[in-house]
A = this chain, B = another copy of it.
Amino acid sequence: MPPADRRARRRQETIDEILDIAVAIMSEEGVNGLSLSEVARRLGIQPPSIYKYFPSLMAIYDELFLRGQTMHLEVMRDAMATADPGLDALVAGLEASGRWLLANRAVAELLFWRPVPKFEPSHSAMAISREMIDIQRAALVDAVTAGQLGPGADSDEAVFLVSTLIIGVLSQAFANEPDLEWGTGRFTPLFPKLMRLLVAVYPPPS
């Protein structure tokens, strides 16, 4: 392996380390509590050295946003792939999503609650967002085809509705039961109930 590759690899490792530390800090101090100095302190280097890896604090938020979105999408896609296509896949995907977001609270807040007013997600973030909508939409189409849901479920509205339900559950869990796991407490057990509602909103032709 040429030395240039070694350097690049070391560099990438440091970048990953910075991002992991950043997540840890946000988990402890809140998303807004992230600071370059604290990252440097934990990494054992001086604050200015961070600038060799990221041009600004916002660039770190940017990377965290992108990485979070990508992982979230992957988790959801994997869960959907192992279930029966249609409604089962959708529910499995959303539950995996909820579980992951609850376990990665800081990232979840960054992705869905915009707690850093000065930070605006970049353009490339939109593409992943769109893909997220698409895989949910595809599952809804499968459910309609299979006769599990009515034709109205093949719509962006249905996707918005589904995401609104899960974000409601997560908001409540974060605010009121921050330390509980998915499936326990007063709120996350509501989710399966809410999912069954989908059938009531878009009743299949009988």
A81 at the B interface (CB under 8 A): no
A175, B142: Cα distance in complex, Å: 29
A164 at the B interface (CB under 8 A): yes
Of listed A115, A168, A175, residue having the most chain B CB within 10 A: A168
A29, B32: Cα distance in complex, Å: 12
A201, B112: Cα distance in complex, Å: 27
Instruction: Known contacts A175-B112, A200-B200, A201-B193; decide if A117 and B164 are in contact (CB<8 Å).
Output: no
A114, B33: Cα distance in complex, Å: 13
The 10 A-B pairs with the shortest beta carbon distances in the complex, nearest first, are A168-B168, A200-B200, A30-B117, A164-B168, A32-B32, A167-B171, A171-B171, A167-B168, A164-B172, A197-B197
Question: Are A169 and B164 in touch, CB under 8 angstroms?
Answer: yes
Q: Which B residues are CB-close (under 8 A) to A194?
A: 161, 164
Q: How many copies does the complex hold?
A: 2
A197, B113: Cα distance in complex, Å: 26
Contact mask for chain A residues 160-181; partner B; CB cutoff 8 A; 1 contact, 0 none: 1101111111011011000000
Question: Are B160 and A117 in touch, CB under 8 angstroms?
Answer: no
Nearest-CB residue, chain B, relative to A116: B30
Indicate which residue in B114, B157, B160, B175 contacts A175 across the interface (CB closer than 8 Å): B114
Size of the chain A interface, CB-CB below 8 angstroms: 33
Nearest-CB residue, chain B, relative to A165: B168
A175, B116: Cα distance in complex, Å: 11
A187 at the B interface (CB under 8 A): yes
Task: Given contacts A167-B172, A197-B197, list 4 more A-B pairs with CB under 8 A.
Answer: A33-B117, A161-B190, A167-B168, A200-B201
A186 at the B interface (CB under 8 A): yes
A70, B174: Cα distance in complex, Å: 23
Nearest-CB residue, chain B, relative to A159: B186
Nearest-CB residue, chain B, relative to A30: B117
Q: Which B residues are CB-close (under 8 A) to A161?
A: 190, 193-194
Indicate which residue in B168, B169, B175, B193 contacts A113 across the interface (CB closer than 8 Å): B175
